Amino acid sequence: MWYPRGQSWLALRKEVSDGSNVMGTEENSFDRSYVKKKLEHGLSRIWQDVQLKVKTYLLGTDLSNFKYDDFIFVLDIISRLMQVGEEFCGSKSEVLQESIRKQSVNYFKTYHSLPLKEF
């Protein structure tokens, strides 16, 4: 992945900068902050891509036929994935929250409409 390499490059540039030229220092500082912002923004874009891919699988699967324990297991996995998003880039993972909400509503509608013997 190029983001960690970019951050390493940014750290290396910071060490190499000698600060002898005030104008150059201001310019280097601007360059560093610009690159850092772009890298941080890139994390959000990566996480958005991950959410959209997981959403495709999540909504493409009929979870209403899962046993209760299996459904709870899926909820747990998605919950852990949302925690990863929070730590990775501070995202609340709204895409995943909405997807799991839809699947939960569908699951419990089906769950309560069928006799308990089928689950």
Q: What residues have CB less than 8 Å from 14, skipping those under 6 apart?
A: 32
* Residue scoring higher pLDDT (28 or 7): 28
Average pLDDT over residues 40-49: 90
Give 97-104 contacts, CB < 8 A, sequence gap 24+. 99/54, 99/55, 99/58, 99/59, 100/58, 100/75, 102/59, 103/58, 103/59, 103/63, 103/74, 104/75
- Ranges 9-13, 28-32, 109-113: which has the least confidence: 9-13
Q: What residues have CB less than 8 Å from 35, skipping those under 6 apart?
A: 6, 10
DSSP state of 61: S
**pLDDT-based confidence at 32, cuts 50/70/90?**
confident
Per the structure, how many domains does the chain have?
A: 1
> Please, what's the b/e burial string for 75-107 (b: 16 or more CB within 10 A of its CB; e: otherwise)?
eeebeebbeebeeebebebebbeebbeebeeeb
Average pLDDT over residues 29-50: 86
AA identity, residue 40: E
Which domain range does residue 64 map to?
2-118
**pLDDT-based confidence at 57, cuts 50/70/90?**
very high
* Residue scoring higher pLDDT (7 or 52): 52
Mean pLDDT across the chain: 83
Q: Is the pLDDT of residue 23 over 80?
A: no
Q: State what percent of residues in the chain have pLDDT above 70.
A: 75
Q: State what percent of residues in the chain have pLDDT above 90.
A: 58
